A and B are shown apart, each in its own frame.
Chain A
Amino acid sequence: MSAPQPHLVVVGASLAGLRAVEAARRAGFDGTITLVGAEEHLPYDRPPLSKDFLTAVETPAAPTLRDEATLRDELGVSLRLGTPATALDTDERTVWLGHDPLRYTALVIATGATPRTMPGAAKLTGVHTLRRLDDARQIRAALDTGARTVVVGAGFIGSEVASSARQRGSAVTVVEAMPTPLARPVGEEMGIVLANMHERHGTTLRCGVGVESLEGTDRVEAVRLADGTRIEADLVVVGIGVAPTIEWLADSGLELGNGIECDKTLQTSAPGVYAAGDLASWPNPLFDTRMRLEHWTIAAEQGGVAARHAIDPANATGYATVPYFWSDWYGRRIQFVGVAAGTDEVRVVSGDIDSGSFLALYRHGDRLIGALGLEQRSQIMKYRLMIARGGSWSEALEFAAARNAASA
């Protein structure tokens, strides 16, 4: 029996999936490539959906990453959009799109994550999560009418929506169940500092109180909090996190846990099957720990890595990265590199936490493990490089002092 024709199947037509097919072609893969997407849309960029897409004066175009001609003609990709994958059979090397089988010789899974929602949300209009283009269009339409807005969850998506809604002139309240917002991504101390930006820009922030219920018959009318407070709302945006989109893999035999459990090369427990993006959990050697990250940059990196390894497993190597994410609130850029978990000390080394521009470094033992910048575009990536090299705390402090002196 002759070997099957090489066929790379990429399931998930968002950023990680797109970068996977691009990387495969760049690496010289000349077999068939099929890109499978649950949504009807061509691959598009999600970060703008909570930012410019909501604030632009004119109705914005979809933030499409590649047009159809580029995908089909330049990249030679067969597109299967609007057809969610429903099952995976690793013995038969087949992805099922409903009743339609798709055989692969190499597979990259990049189906991302799905927003968590709250009880009662589905039966009320005016209540949205924000992940997809269609969500953003509906939220934008509500803001067009000056909707009084309640955001549930003071994480990055929720905070960006709050910022955008304020910019559009809406009254905005953010409700956060935890006493401190953003404690996991940036630590409690800096979470409070960032959250203070809301009040300074006219957004009401309520922390440490959960949502009791959403009120309304067909359309949402108010949000009832656990302490009895009732906040009238025309628009409710729920930003309480996401869960990896792995239900379709339940019977696949793939090792699942916190997402898809991968080895250091992003290979899943099945040969020839790799994962990338929000759902991939892998041991990151730079931090001696397993990670699963929901960051744009990581999806872009992992898409390329997973595809290169899938088409050439013999040359697969360990994937190491220093996490990077950003968020834009009220016209200001927040950037974080590294990790906040395990922090022994956070030190502000430049600027002032009340000034709207500062840089804070994170220490674990004698090592630099993280850096948070607000409006620190020219500084922050120096520390991403330093963390990647295993830079020490004293080196980081000296470097920061030298930079401060040079700019004084």
Chain B
Amino acid sequence: MIAGSRFDVRTQMKINVDTDKCTGHGVCESIAPDVFEVGDDGIVHLLSTELTEAMRPTLESAVAECPTQALSLEG
């Protein structure tokens, strides 16, 4: 795995939101408010797709603590 090397700052990491599963708890927003926000439509929206390796542990927490398993991390 060369492109997604763990310490590459220009990460290939990508967050996916399954909008069928998301019910807008917002736990992800409370963990990473710069990345996630629950909108008035009651589901979460991505505020930023510019993710860095330094954010990985935080994003992993957001995935693990989503009450509806609506988030996944790619790369």
Contacts and interface: CB of A to CB of B under 8 A. Distances in A.
Contacts of A45: 69
B30 A377 contact: no
- Indicate the size class of the contact surface on chain B: 10 to 19
A284 interface: no
Interface string A217-231: 000000000000000
Interface string B18-53: 000001111101100100011110100000000000
Nearest to B29: A381
A297 B26 CA distance: 11
Nearest to A305: B61
Contact of A381 (B23, B27, B39, B61): B27
A377 B69 contact: no
Nearest to A295: B67
Interface residues of A, number: 26
A388 B30 CA distance: 9
Contacts of B65: 297, 300-301
Contacts of B24: 333, 377-378
- Secondary structure type dominating chain A contacts: helix
B67 A381 contact: no
A304 B27 CA distance: 15
Nearest to A300: B65
Given A377-B24, A377-B25, A381-B26, A326 B67 contact: yes
Nearest to A377: B24
A172 interface: no
A184 to B, nearest CB: 22
Interface of B: 23-27, 29-30, 33, 37-40, 42, 60-61, 64-65, 67, 69
Interface of A: 19, 22-23, 26, 45, 47, 65, 296-297, 300-301, 304, 322, 324, 326, 333, 335, 337, 377-378, 380-381, 384-385, 388, 407
23 contacts: A23-B64, A26-B60, A45-B69, A296-B67, A297-B27, A297-B65, A300-B64, A322-B30, A324-B30, A326-B67, A333-B23, A333-B24, A335-B25, A377-B23, A377-B42, A378-B26, A378-B37, A378-B38, A378-B40, A381-B29, A381-B30, A384-B30, A385-B30
